[in-house]
Structure 1
Amino acid sequence: MGRRVSEGGFKRGYRKRNVRRRGVRTRLKQVGAAQTASLFIIPGRGSFRHGSCGDRVFVYWGILRVHWFKWATFSLLGAVAAAASAQSRLPAPPAPELIISPQLRPHEVQESDMPVFSVADDVRTDEDGKLILTGKAEVRRIDSVVKGDRIDYQRDTGQVDVQGSGLIMRDGTIVNSSSFSYNMDGETGEITAPTFILGEGGGSGRAEFGEIFSRDHMRLTEAFYVACPCPEPAWHITSPRVDFYIDKNEGVARNGVLFFKGVPILASPYLSFPLRKERKSGFLLPTYGGSSNSGLELSVPYYFNLAPNYDLTLTPRFMAKRGVQLGTEFRYLGSDYEGQLTGTYLNKDRRADTDRWMYRWQHNHNLGNGFYSAIDLHRVSDDDYYRDFTSLGLNEASIDSIPSMATLGWSGSKYWQAHVQTLTYQTLQDRTAQYSRLPQYDKLPELYVRGARYNWGGFDLTSDNYATQFKMPKYRDPFHPYPYNPSLFPRQSYDGQRVSSYNSIAYPIIRAGWYMVPKAAMHLSQYHTDWHGFALGADGYNGRLPGTPRTQSRALPLLSLDTGMTFERPTSLFGNAAIQTLEPRLYYLYVPYRDQASIPIYDTSIASFNFAQAFEENLFSGGWDRIANANQLTLGLTSRWLDESTGAERLSLSVAQRLYFENQKVTMPGAKPRTSTKSDYLLGVNAALTDKLDLRFDAQVNPESRERNRMSAGVRWQPKRLALLALNYRYERDPAQLVDPSVVNAINYIDNSKEQMSLSGQWPLSSKIFAVGRVDYSLQEKRSTQLVLGFEYKGDCCWVARTVYQRYAVSEQTTNTAVFFQLELLGLGSLGTDPLGMLSKAINGYQSVTPPIPETTTYERYE
């Protein structure tokens, strides 16, 4: 099987060069220091001596020489010099500093310079010069180790013949056998009934016979292989012939069979699998499942490891109700750039009777000297693409707008930055809905320049400047049936240009326990508008709204004062020592009125009123096509209870309200202005009652009617690992009702209020069975928008089985149902569609029942 790493692993694997270790690190110096009475240094390769220390014999051949007399002399002189220097030094010696600990590193050693070290209970030579070692015999080089009860070692050729308890170790790979023949110089040999552990990947197994052709290539006959580190693995691969290619990170099994619990579940005449946690070309494990939208599904991806810095995945996907779709993903990485290209194509969808496709190109590039570029191009063939082809998950099925962006920017200055950007949208309509959405305006292009200087003589200066060309894409009229007559119902839009500049100066005064930030700003903007599809203008210009100028400008000053204080006192919370804070805050804002009724709305909407927006300069969000007049004061108060020993926040209570000193005069088109003198109350509560139980509550309440306009609440309980329950509630009144409550009586009014509840969790039913699930219910629509129910079974060792059922709404009137199965074999991969990504998104805090197998290295079996 192939192996494909994630994008993060793909990047790390390229940037961190993997240098192969050329052998076991030598410890000759340590041995020499500890065994000086029994180690003899021999200058030549053809002669030997032996000495004893008890019953053991140590023999060493090579070019290494140790001059003990010189070493002792220099050590003695160094000690004397150090003592004299220390005595003459007047000040106290500096404190010792931390030093970097030495690390094991790969070694590159020439074959001709490689010394050999041998150990045995008895050592002798025959008349041909062959060294015969018996009794716990070892032959060591810096690149390999050979052990056995008896070793016949030919020093001239590097040939070793081992009898009894044989072992070969090289690059972290260990092979055991009762007898084998191996050439340490040529790295070839034959092994009878070997058992093995492969390098840092940790794969292991056994065979009837093994052949070593090189350091990179080993062949096993009648092999049994498993990559799971358990004593009794649940799965294994058997094959009459298996070839291991170490450098390629590939194992190839001829006529291989994958067994699970003794039952064959996959057979192939050519089965390829990875030996390490690295990328390799080949077929990835197939995925299968089924949904009501597409029928039975089967995908067989093939992964191409083209180069260390780019790769390609092709995924044929068979859908019984639609046909065969081809998907592709190409990823690349350079020293100054990175990106990926994805796409799918389905020729003649059987259900839609048309071609279906999707493409997306994402690219980021560092051009140098502070310049950079970014591209994100994304398009689909039709409105229903994501609704039809989303297999698992609600997120993609609910996509209703696809942005595409291209940016060229510069950030090479400490105080200035700029970019030019194009931004276009593809609006996906829901054909089953009662109304359609107007598309967003494209920005073709937008120029942005920002300057900022903080603490410049105590002042903070900022300047944000935009120049944008807006264009409305062509669309079908949402208020008339298809097809309609363009001459009777022309498309209406107001394309044009907007130039705006926001400049501010503030003088923050921050002291212990209080702060004050006076601020003055000026917003300048100019519009040049082309009105399309509207009635004849009063001045005779065809296509202009009556009384609306083609070019207009606006200048508005903004003055604000933000101030607050913090008080503390010791107290207790639930019997535990705590510190309570009291944090009052006042924010005054003044913005004079300017008539803006004739200014077009390009990218501005009413902002949601919350704790953050209550202290903002404008009640509209977006591109400032509307700037509300303001003479108002926002009052806020927060109290926190902090754990005295850890500083962790256990409880916080917040409240805020805005007081208006004049009526609202600037509104969105068709909206009624506010006339009340007080805003809604904002209430917030967050409580970590214990380390396992959290509560939160936020509300926006009308001070006159005492009705809620927004509310969210949640409780989360996680008593232990793999045990989680969360209940959430959310309500949001239709924004049109907030502006004009009488809108509910209008003809054809559609209530866009949202009221939802969500219950999610993960819970152990036994020591091996775990339930996961989520239910989303819309109280407004009186229907379930998503249901996820799954069970996970954790095997004894190295396997997990999952079953996940999902039903979710893909549009206002249609739903999709999917059932998927997965068998996860740790160390090999997964059979079936992987639902973990969907479970992680659907269930906040979800944890996999199988912690990842820790990565190993060749040094874990270092000798």
Structure 2
Amino acid sequence: MRHDFLCRILCVLRVVPRVNFRRRMKYRPAAIILLVAANLLPGLSLLSIAASEVGKWRYCLPAPRFAEPPQASADDNLHFSADSAEAEGGRYRLWGNVLGQRGAQSLFAEQVTYDAGSETAQAQGKVRYHHGERRLFGSQADMALGNETGEISGASFWLLDKHLRGQADIVYIEGPEQMRLQSTLFTTCDEDNEFWRLKAVRLQLDQAGNVGIAHHARLELLGVPVFYTPYLSFPLAGRKTGFLLPTIGESSRSGDEFSLPWYLNIAPDKDATLTPKYMSKRGVLWDGEFRYLTARSRGDITFAYLPGDKVFGRDRSATSFNHLGDPAPGWRTSLRYQRVSDAEYLNDFGSQLNVTSITHLESRADVSYRDTYWGATVMVQKYQTLDLSRPLTSRPYARLPQIKLDMSTLRIGGGLELDARAELVRFDREGGVIGNRIDVQPSISLPMESAAAFLTPRLGFRHTRYSLQRSAPDSDTSPRRNLPLFSVDSGLFFERNLRGGGRATLQTLEPRLFYLYVPYVDQSELIVDENGASRVFDSSRPLLSIGQMFRDNRFNGADRMGDANQLSAVLSSRFLDKGGRELARASLGRIFYFSDREVTLPGKVVEMQSASNWLGEVSTHWTSSLSSRLNLEWDALESETARGNASVRYRPGPRSALNLGYRFERDRLEQTDISLMWPLWKGLSVLGRHRYSRQDSVLLESVAGFEYESCCWIFRALKRRYRVNVSEERLSDTFWFQLELKGLSSVGRDVESLLGRDILAR
């Protein structure tokens, strides 16, 4: 029986309910090539392209537009429409603009023959398959739907969200989880400008075993093969044990460098990497990393070992262990262990000034618990001193352990609130006085606030006692200190609407006063060493800032509680747009002292000024691309700047930035920092950084290089000169380059991480 239609008709094949096109099309070449692209090199997730990456393909031609099928029926049956169709028994023949649909899948062809009894279909002539962002084309397809086998010939494809296209001559589907591909290739480049493509003569894919085997795979750049392997086994999902791409570089301290990482896939939540790194001046550095990630913890263990450093003259090594966990509700754990073989290790193998200038390496372990009403933390902390010439009595104390308890604010009636915190810690080190310390600080406050003002008087008490060893023979080994504290914190909020058509529509004026009174108690003999010298376990004096002006103690740590009879005054103003976004903020403040500050750190003198230096802070963010910040400390007695830093950041686009920075501390440092990444013309950008110490008249770091980006590849190259220590006369030189094949992988040193950290960081 034959039916001719003047228009398109809908044939619902209800004789074969729930024809499962989803399973039948499960192993189309588009999906197959995607798996190959994602995993062709072991240990790498090659297709790391995220659809949300803005501007990733901005230099590519637009992807071709494909005619979209009409809205599919909501049921789970297989629907066909065609210009003409005929049926004979359970065999259906459709031709002329044939469209088969089921759910999100669509199959187009000039002619389709479907046998309902054997569940086989033959599609011929301009075969096209749509599923989500996949567009698959072929000359013909023969499918045995009953056992999910078949053959697709002359296949090409587009993955629109990945900007990926490719070809496969023949795809043999050999069951629900196995298939073979003949002569495949793919690329992310434009069709008439292929910089790279990946080819394989034959591929075997076994999803049940999560393994793929590629025969005669090669990578071509500009049509020239640059990588070939006759046999390659790789995972279809996740990672697989094998070599990663090498890293090549050069530095003046270590010479030519070449690294070849070996990746070990231990389990879905565990892996390891072993990297031998050849350095022409030093030898081979063995670098290893083990990582784990579970539902309640994550961490890594790293080690580095350089046998017989040819420059240093002996073995070198470094070890670290980092762990974070939440083993149960309310519980948190963390661990950080660091150790190096010698004091020069970070100078030789660290590449940042803030890393190489470290004098002590911290190791610590924390366990904490937080409930609705209270919290507790137990910490063990030790340090490795890198400068062994430092006296034992000048090295930091270990905390073995430190236990902290704090109570959440408790409302006790009448508007009163009760707070309390306590600490027990054991301080230890090889030389000098050691001991235990207990510190308890309860307080009661009466917060009063409205929409325009707040007032909070607070009364507190601090009890501290010690149990000391190795102290002076005639000193008290169990000293104690008891101090009351009284403070009043207050503030007002004024605001006004702005006119004039500018971006700022609201300005606030926020004066704040903070009065603090703590009586003087002599604390110079709380901790006295065997030589009779006054010591502290952990107290120090932080730099003064706007935030520090509202603390009840001008010292860090519990060994010193500063005496105070003072008033902190700060005036702040903010500018906001109509959406409530802060465009600018400015603050000016000063502390006025009504008595001398007699409590000091060992070796320091009594402070007798009647007022602190003026502090000013200004920050602006008038547009999404331009921001600035200024912090200034002005010495009114000397009529000069005591400390300050300023920065301006302009970032008009994701790959363009200009940063200007200046830091100053009187008689200590004066540094400038300029960095940029700026496009010159299509695809070509220059990048650089210049850090200079005006105090020492030396260059700290310079970076000069460029980036060229095309549709499907990026090349970056730079020369970096840096000083691992300000006192060093010579600069260290390194040359970095990186070739990134978009959608595939990259080779060379990770220039992008340096850009993200030093230039493009927000």
Q: Same fold (TM over 0.5)?
A: yes
Q: Do residues 414 (structure 1) and 414 (structure 2) align? A: no
What secondary structure, in the 3-state scheme, does the structure 2 residue paired with 1:841 have? helix
Are the structure 2 counterparts of residues 114 and 213 from structure 1 closer, same or farther at C-alpha, using a change threshold of 3 Å? farther
- Return the match for 1:426 from 384, 396, 409: 384
Give the direction of change, closer, same or farther, for the CA distance of 1:230–1:565 in structure 2 (3 Å limit). Answer: farther
2:404 aligned with 1:448, yes or no? Answer: yes
What is the rounded CA distance, in whole Å, between the counterparts of 1:52 and 1:609 in structure 2? 87
SS in 1 for 2:662: strand
1:498, 1:525 within 8 Å by CA — same for their partners in 2? yes
- Residue 466 of structure 1 and its aligned partner are, at CA, apart by 0.8
Aligned-residue offset at 1:513: 1.7
Query: Kindly tell me: are residues 823 and 556 of structure 1, through their superposed partners in 2, closer, same or farther at Cα, counting changes over 3 Å?
Result: same
After TM superposition, give the deviation of residue 316 of structure 1 in Å: 2.7
Map residues 55-70 of structure 1 onto 2, 5 A cutoff. Answer: 56=9, 58-62=11-15, 64=17
Cα contact 1:297–1:317 (8 A) shared by 2: yes
Distance 1:690 1:199 in 2: 34
Post-superposition offset of 1:257? 2.1
Identical residues among aligned pairs (%): 34
How far apart in 1 are the matches of 2:265 and 2:158? 25
CA-to-aligned-CA distance 1:684-724 (integer Å, 9 cap, x gap):
33344555443332221222111221111222333455332
Alignment of 1:44-59 (within 5 A): 54=7, 56=9, 58-59=11-12
Aligned to 1:585: 512
Change (3 A) 1:228 1:270: farther
Please give the alpha-carbon distance, in whole angstroms, between the structure 1 residues aligned to 2:344 and 2:114: 73
Work out which of the residue numbers 765, 772, 775 in structure 1 matches 2:680. 765
Deviations 1:530-586 (A, max 9, x none): 22xxxxxxxxxxxx4364322211111111111122223344589666433332222
- Aligned pair in 2 of structure 1 residues 560, 116: CA closer, same or farther (>3 Å)? closer
Select which of 542, 553, 567 maps to 2:480: 553
Q: Contact between 2:16 and 2:116, CA under 8 Å: does it hold in 1? A: no
Kindly tell me: are residues 168 and 252 of structure 1, through their superposed partners in 2, closer, same or farther at Cα, counting changes over 3 Å? Answer: farther
Residue identity opposite 2:468 in structure 1 = T
The 1:449/1:217 distance shift into structure 2, 3 A limit, reads same
Which of 180, 193, 196 is residue 235 of structure 1 equivalent to?
Answer: 196
Bigger Cα displacement from structure 2, 260-269 vs 416-425? 260-269
Per-residue displacement from partner, 1:609-661 (whole Å, max 9, x unpaired)?
1111122112211x221112111122222233434x34444444322121222
Cα offset for 1:470? 0.7
Separation in 2, partners of 1:789, 1:185: 63
CA distance 1:55–1:668, change in 2 (3 Å):
closer
User: What is the one-letter code of the residue matched to 1:779?
Assistant: R
Q: Does residue 226 of structure 2 align to residue 268 of structure 1?
A: no
Offset, 1:384: 2.4
Q: How far apart are the structure 2 equivalents of 1:670 and 1:396? A: 29
The corresponding residue for 1:373 is: 333
Question: Could you report, residue by residue, the CA deviation over 1:764-805 in whole angstroms, capped at 9, with x for unpaired residues?
Answer: 11122111222111112211111122211111x121111122
Change (3 A) 1:675 1:394: closer
Query: Which one of 560, 566, 572 corresponds to residue 638 of structure 1?
Result: 572
Structure 2 runs not aligned, ≥5 long:
19-74, 528-535
Correspondence for 2:598: 665
Distance 1:183 1:355 in 2: 65
Cα deviation, residue 507, structure 1: 1.0
After TM superposition, give the deviation of residue 251 of structure 1 in Å: 5.9
What is the alpha-carbon distance in structure 2 between the residues aligned to residue 639 and residue 806 of structure 1? 42
| In 2: Cα distance, 1:335 partner to 1:175 partner | 38
Superposed, 1:638-787 pairs within 5 Å as 638-643=572-577, 645-688=578-621, 692-733=625-666, 753-787=668-702
**Partners in 1 of 2:491 and 2:190 — Cα distance?**
59
Alpha-carbon deviation of 1:445? Answer: 0.8
Whole-angstrom CA distance in 2 between matches of 1:527 and 1:839: 50
Cα distance, 1:680 vs structure 2: 1.2
Equivalences, count: 695
Residue type of the alignment partner of 2:269: N
State yes or no: 1:835 paired with 2:751.
yes
Q: Aligned partners of 1:266 and 1:605: how far apart in 2?
A: 59
Go from structure 1 to structure 2 and tell me whether the alpha carbon gap of 1:171 and 1:616 turns closer, same or farther (over 3 Å shift).
Answer: closer
Normalising by structure 1, report the TM-score.
0.74
- Which secondary structure state, in structure 2, belongs to the residue aligned with residue 166 of structure 1? strand
- Aligned residue among 802, 807, 831 for 2:721: 807
Q: Per the alignment, in what secondary structure is the counterpart of residue 293 of structure 1?
A: coil
Q: State the SS of the aligned residue for 2:658.
A: strand
Distance 2:561 2:115 in 1: 91
Trace 1:338-353 onto structure 2 (pairs within 5 A).
338-353=298-313
Structure 1 counterpart of 2:376, which letter?
A: A
Q: Please tell me whether residue 462 in structure 1 is matched to residue 419 in structure 2.
A: yes
Instruction: Please say if residues 138 and 151 of structure 1, whose CA atoms lie closer than 8 Å, have aligned partners that are also in contact.
Output: no
- Secondary structure of residue in 2 paired with 1:388: helix
Determine which structure has the larger strand proportion and give its number: 2
Separation in 1, partners of 2:355, 2:192: 42
| Other-structure match for 2:451 | 512
SS at match of 1:837: helix
Residue number in structure 1 paired with 2:559: 625
1:595 has 2:522 as partner: yes
Alignment of 1:191-230 (within 5 A): 191-197=152-158, 203-227=164-188
Mean CA deviation greater in 772-781 or 645-654: 645-654
Q: Is the 8 A contact 1:50 1:57 kept in 2?
A: no
Change (3 A) 1:255 1:293: farther
Matched with 1:404 is 363
Q: Which residue of 2 aligns with 1:123?
A: 85
Query: Residue type of the partner of 1:194?
Result: A
Q: Distance in 1 between matches of 2:724 and 2:428?
A: 30
Alpha-carbon contact 1:148-1:165 (below 8 Å) kept: yes
**Matches of 2:264 and 2:346, distance apart in 1:** 27
Please tell me whether the aligned partners of residues 419 and 447 of structure 1 are also in contact (alpha carbons under 8 angstroms).
Answer: yes
- Using the size of structure 2 for normalisation, the TM-score is 0.83
Instruction: Indicate the residue corresponding to 2:292 in structure 1.
Output: 332
Does the aligned pair in 2 maintain the 1:171–1:199 contact within 8 Å?
Answer: no
Question: Counterparts of 1:371 and 1:271 in 2: how far apart (Å)?
Answer: 45
Mind listing any 5+ residue stretches in structure 1 that lack a counterpart? 1-47, 66-112, 475-491, 532-543, 735-752, 847-863
Residue 682 of structure 1 and its aligned partner are, at CA, apart by 1.4
Shift of 1:829: 1.4
- Match status 1:302 vs 2:241: no
Amino acid at match of 1:613: Q
Matches of 1:201 and 1:584 in 2, distance apart? 54
**Contact 1:793–1:800, Cα closer than 8 Å, also in 2:** yes
Asked if structure 2 preserves the Cα contact closer than 8 Å seen for 1:52 and 1:58, the reply is no
- 2:734, 2:391 → 1: CA distance? 28
Inter-CA distance 200–308: structure 2 relative to 1 (3 Å threshold): farther
Q: How many Å apart are 1:516 and its aligned residue? A: 1.1
